[in-house]
Amino acid sequence: MTRDITEEIKRLKEEKNAVILAHYYVRPEVQEIADYIGDSFYLSKLAVGLEAQTIVMCGVSFMGESVKILNPEKTVLLPDAAADCAMAHMASVETIEKMRNTWDDLEVVCYINSTAELKRHADVCVTSANAVKIVKALPNKNIFFIPDRNLARFVAEQAPEKHFVFNEGFCPVHEELKLQELQTLKAQHPEAEVLTHPECGEAVCRESDYIGSTSGIIAHAEASSAKEFIICTENGVRFELGKRCPEKKFYFTETEPVCGDMKLITLEKILHVLETGENEVLADPSMVEEAGKPLEEMLRLAK
Ligand code: SF4
């Protein structure tokens, strides 16, 4: 059955000149069928310049929005339009305006995990892979970082020359990673390196050997001489880690971090949107222009 679906997806992809992009957090069988797999930064960079006319974005809705805004002439399809990121909504335009009126010389830095509406009110976007580099490159002293308080804290620590104004958003999947479970794993595997995503809470980050984006975690595991790793991020990354480092061992906390929205993407839904063209991401020209600016600024500064 899975084989039939896979074959049918491949056939339709060719027929419709479509390409499939997938985030590292989606199900293994979806990563298997994708043409490109990566984190938000890789996928947003990649989408600009793809020749295919249709892009099926296997991830949550803000990813589809970003791809559409950067490629307004393309058809962008979401296998499940209800797959959303809770953190993407955890900031408000009112707060951004309030901060702009409170602080001079303020740059509103918006994590790509945010709605298009928030992006259109920001100055520059960042991903966890490029946030430190971009914030350090900004001429402004005052940074209002939305929506994630944990990534903001991590970046603020690397850029002590800046003054950060924090927002109270967070990723429920990463922030709920349990410190006690991590400490138990560390006691069981004392040789293991702890690799952590900066969306995790402060206490978990303090117990870590390396903190970085999903692609950073994968690259670190590949390059490290260590043989065992404790991975503090969403469990979908296990698929790529297993492919790239089959001889190494990876452990996750007992309560595995799972993003239920990322797991909503299935082969059946990919097939359905390829067949029907449903769940197309739409963006009006003003949204493309206004939310596109901070995204393009990110791509420029991250070069
Ligand atoms: S893992 Fe967290 S930040 Fe990523 S999509 Fe899920 S809820 Fe959003």
CB burial of 100-116 (b: ≥16 within 10 Å; e: otherwise) equals eeebeebbbbbbbbbbb
Residues with CB under 6 A from ligand 1: 25, 60, 85-87, 113, 171-174, 199, 234, 259, 261-262
Return the closest-CA partner of residue 214 out of 192, 238, 246, 191.
238
**Torsion sign over Cα 88, 61, 197, 291:** negative
List of residues 6+ apart from 275 with CB closer than 8 A: 12
> Ligand 1: which residue has its CA nearest to atom 1?
259
CA 4 to centroid of ligand 1, rounded, Å: 31
Give 76-106 pLDDT, tens digit per residue: 999 999 999 999 999 999 999 999 999 999 9
- Judge if the upstream peptide bond of residue 257 is cis by omega within 30 degrees of 0: no
Cβ–Cβ under 8 Å, residues 114 and 66: no
Cβ–Cβ under 8 Å, residues 80 and 55: no
CA 87 to centroid of ligand 1, rounded, Å: 7
Q: How confident is the model at residue 42 (pLDDT cuts 50, 70, 90)?
A: confident
> Ligand 1: which residue has its CA nearest to atom 5?
85
CA 86 to centroid of ligand 1, rounded, Å: 7
Phi/psi at 72 (5° precision)? -60, -20
CA 259 to centroid of ligand 1, rounded, Å: 6
> Ligand 1: which residue has its CA nearest to atom 7?
85
Q: For position 45, what pLDDT does the model report?
A: 81
What is the rounded distance in angstroms from the CA atom of residue 29 to the CA atom of residue 31? 5
Q: For position 41, what pLDDT does the model report?
A: 79
Cβ–Cβ under 8 Å, residues 264 and 61: no
Q: How confident is the model at residue 40 (pLDDT cuts 50, 70, 90)?
A: confident
Angle between helices 40-47 and 61-70 (to 10 degrees): 30
Mean pLDDT within 186-210: 98
